[in-house]
Amino acid sequence: PKVVNMAEDKKAFVDEINKALAKSEGLTSKDLLFSYWGTPYPATVRSAEMFQALENLEARRDDMVLVSYPKCGVNWLIQILSDLIFTTIQSKPVSTELPFIEIGDPDKYQISEKKLLNHLERMKQIPSPRILATHLNYDCLRKSIFKNKAKILVLFRNPKGTAVSFFHFHNSVPRVPSYSSWDEFFSEFMNGKVVWGSCFDHAVTWNKHIEDENTMIIIYEDLKENLTASVKQIAEFFGFFPTAEQIQSIADRATFQAVEDKAEETHGAVGSILFCKGVVGDWKNLFTEAQNQEMDAKFEVCLEGIKQGAKLKYDVYCKA
Annotated active-site positions, please? Answer: 135
CA distance 167 to 164: 5
Q: Does residue 234 sit in helix, strand or coil?
A: helix
Strands (E) in the chain, as ranges, are: 33-36, 39-42, 64-68, 131-134, 151-156, 215-219
Long-range CB contact pairs, 136-141, < 8 A, 24+: 136/67, 136/101, 136/102, 137/197, 137/201, 137/202, 137/205, 137/206, 138/205, 138/206, 138/208, 138/209, 139/205, 140/37, 141/65, 141/67
Q: Which residues contact 152 (CB under 8 A, 6 or more apart)?
A: 65, 67, 145, 212, 214, 215, 216
- What is the C-alpha to C-alpha distance for residues 271 and 260, in angstroms, rounded to an integer? 8
CA distance 301 to 305: 9
Dihedral sign for Cα 259, 96, 72, 30, please.
positive
Residue 190's identity, in one-letter code, is M
Look at strands 39-42 and 33-36 and give their pairing: antiparallel
Distance of CA 92 to the CA centre of its chain: 21
Three-state SS at 319: coil
Rg (CA), the chain: 19
How far is the CA of 304 from the CAs of 65, 72, 212, in angstroms? 27, 19, 20
